[in-house]
Amino acid sequence: MARIDAAYNYFMTTYGDNIGSRYESHKKSELRDTYNRIVKTNKDSPLYKIKDAEDIGQFAIDIKEHANSMALSVSNLSSSGDDISAILEKRIAASSNPDSVDVMYVGDNDSPAEGFSIEIDSLAKPQVNTGNFLASEGHDFEEGQYSFDLDIRNHSYEFQFNVNKGENNLTVQNKIVRLLNTSDVGLSATLLSNESSNSKAIQITSKATGISEEETSLFNISSTISWRELNTLGIDNITQPAGNSSFKLNGTAHESLSNTFTVNKTFELMLKAPSSEPVQIGLMNDTEALSKGVNQLLDSYNGMIDIGLKYNGAHQNRTLFNEISSIAKGQADSLASVGITSDALGHLQLDKDVLSDVINSNDRNDAFSALNNLKNSISKAATKASINPMAYVDKAVVEYKNPGKSLAAPYATSQYSGMMVNYGL
């Protein structure tokens, strides 16, 4: 279990912040297709044991996440249709400083879309309550049943928790953190650590940001029955009041409860950081939007090449690298004609000027054919790697399925399709 926990911890710390792209939502038919692919993979996959190496789980996660990155870049280029040329007819918003303000076009192609400037003074903030640091091995709570009241956005909740005989402070704090996180009331709780004193404190953060003129706080915690225990925990103490975002649109001051809002029903803005100078928001020109999408596709492809090189160096296994690099090698001539070339390691790079010239020439149709072939090849490779990343790792086959009479094994449908791990063998 320790090694499985390490793999999942690696996933959350390395890729957790990337979860939530708008292209990660899927139709029922797409989810059904993915499920059927997983079942088929498990049905045909032999039973095997992975070799005893610390980095196998991390490698499998790297494959899945980079395959997901490739799939998202394909979805981005396909959002206007299966043919990449459709992207030239789509309006795509642009920000002169994406690190400060990200933007997405949400209007229709017929509505006017005038650009503007925005200056960000401050971001919208959530409310944060931070409790008292309590000695983890201490016993500040007597055996019994306790409760506290939570008022949040015109809703009131009562939370109850038990303290059993002999339970220390850390056990009680963990109970309250789990209670808040599983209640789905718009709050997120975590434990802060003070290593020098071996103590921890509960920190509670609202998922909402900003505060209206009629409000004094986003949430309030109180108790008349268990006031002593609440004072001991200190979770009613507001350490960061909620705040609105403050910004100027074309020099005019505005505020918003959130860091995400729509301007003129055409541009959806996502504020990320205060800006030292005005950020220009507008529409990309046709070739700029195409170049950006192709560069994202190549970046995701290069990421998978890097994973193949990394595993080749650690385990002398070239399966992944050979399979991914063969895509560009097989299409080298057609890709060169649109400005895409490879280096000695197999990474692809785009010459935007060459792409722009060929898109505006008589060879336009051949150019889009080359780009579509690359996109489709990357899409197929991404699907294969995502469904069964364990196809690329070192493993020992224990038993093959009975030919012609194989059955689906639902219990094997996991993040690593077909994988069976037994470190006791």
**Along the 425 residues of the chain, how does pLDDT read in single tens digits?**
444 455 445 444 554 444 444 445 556 776 777 777 777 777 777 777 776 666 777 787 788 888 888 888 888 777 655 778 877 777 788 899 999 999 988 887 777 778 899 999 999 999 999 999 999 999 999 999 999 999 998 889 999 999 999 999 999 999 999 999 998 899 999 999 998 889 999 999 999 999 998 889 999 999 999 999 999 999 999 999 999 999 999 999 999 999 999 998 899 999 999 998 999 998 887 678 788 889 989 999 999 999 989 888 777 788 889 999 999 999 999 999 999 999 989 999 999 999 988 988 888 889 999 999 999 999 999 888 888 887 887 777 777 777 766 666 654 544 444 444 444 43
In a domain? residue 253: no
Structural domain count of the chain: 2
Domain membership of residue 136 as a residue range? 128-240
CA-CA distance, 57 to 11, in Å (whole number)?
Answer: 10
As beta bridge partners, residue 342 has 348
Q: Which of 224, 240, 256 is the last residue of a domain?
A: 240
Asked if 67 and 178 sit in the same domain, the reply is no
**Look-up of token digits 């220390």:** 168
Return the C-alpha torsion angle 43, 45, 49, 51, nearest 10: -140
**Look-up of token digits 């088929």:** 40
8 Å CB contact between 143 and 163: yes
Asked if 381 and 297 sit in the same domain, the reply is yes
Rg of the chain on CA atoms, in Å: 27
Asked if 84 and 134 sit in the same domain, the reply is no
For residue 16, the model assigns a pLDDT of 47
Query: Could you give the C-alpha distances from 347 to 114, 148, 295, 306, 358, in angstroms and in order?
Result: 38, 57, 12, 8, 22
In a domain? residue 121: no
CA-CA distance, 110 to 70, in Å (whole number)?
Answer: 31
Q: Residue 189 is encoded by which pair of tokens?
A: 């709780």
8 Å CB contact between 257 and 210: yes
For residue 419, the model assigns a pLDDT of 44
In a domain? residue 147: yes
Longest CA pairwise span in the chain (Å)? 82
Asked if 87 and 136 sit in the same domain, the reply is no
| Residue 418 CB coordination number (10 Å) | 22
CA-CA distance, 32 to 314, in Å (whole number)?
Answer: 36
8 Å CB contact between 205 and 126: yes
Asked if 309 and 192 sit in the same domain, the reply is no
**Which region, left, alpha or beta, applies to residue 117 given φ > 0 means left and ψ of -120 to 50 means alpha?**
beta
Query: Could you give the C-alpha distances from 13 to 18, 151, 175, 230, 324, in angstroms and in order?
Result: 10, 32, 24, 32, 26
In a domain? residue 59: yes
Q: Which of 207, 240, 273 is the last residue of a domain?
A: 240
Q: Which of 240, 271, 304 is the last residue of a domain?
A: 240
- Provide the angle, in degrees to the nearest 10, between the axes of the packed helices 319-330 and 286-315: 150
Asked if 153 and 226 sit in the same domain, the reply is yes
Asked if 223 and 299 sit in the same domain, the reply is no
In a domain? residue 165: yes
Asked if 388 and 298 sit in the same domain, the reply is yes
| Residue 210 CB coordination number (10 Å) | 21
SS (H, E, C) the chain: CHHHHHHHHHHHHHHHHHCCCHHHCCCHHHHHHHHHHHHHHHHHCCEEEECCCCCHHHHHHHHHHHHHHHHHHHHHHHCCCCCHHHHHHCCCEEECCCCCEEEEECCCCCCCCCCEEEEEEECCECCEEECCCEECCCCCCCCEEEEEEEEECCEEEEEEEEECCCCCHHHHHHHHHHHHHHHCCCEEEEEEEECCCCEEEEEEEECCCCCCCCCCCCEEEECCCCHHHHHHHCCCCEEECCECEEEEECCEEEEECCCEEEECCCEEEEECCCCCCCEEEEECCHHHHHHHHHHHHHHHHHHHHHHHHHHHHHHCCCHHHHHHHHHHHHCHHHHHCCCEEECCCCCEEECHHHHHHHHCCCCHHHHHHHHHHHHHHHHHHHHHHHHCHHHHCCEEEEECCCCCCCCCCHHHCCCCCCCECCCCC
| Residue 197 CB coordination number (10 Å) | 11
Asked if 299 and 404 sit in the same domain, the reply is yes
In a domain? residue 340: yes
In a domain? residue 221: yes
Q: Residue 215 is encoded by which pair of tokens?
A: 């409000």
What is the phi/psi pair of residue 65, to 5°?
Answer: -70, -40
In a domain? residue 37: yes
Asked if 138 and 236 sit in the same domain, the reply is yes
Q: What is the CATH number of the domain that holds 138?
A: 2.60.40
For residue 52, the model assigns a pLDDT of 65
Asked if 296 and 375 sit in the same domain, the reply is yes
Asked if 211 and 310 sit in the same domain, the reply is no
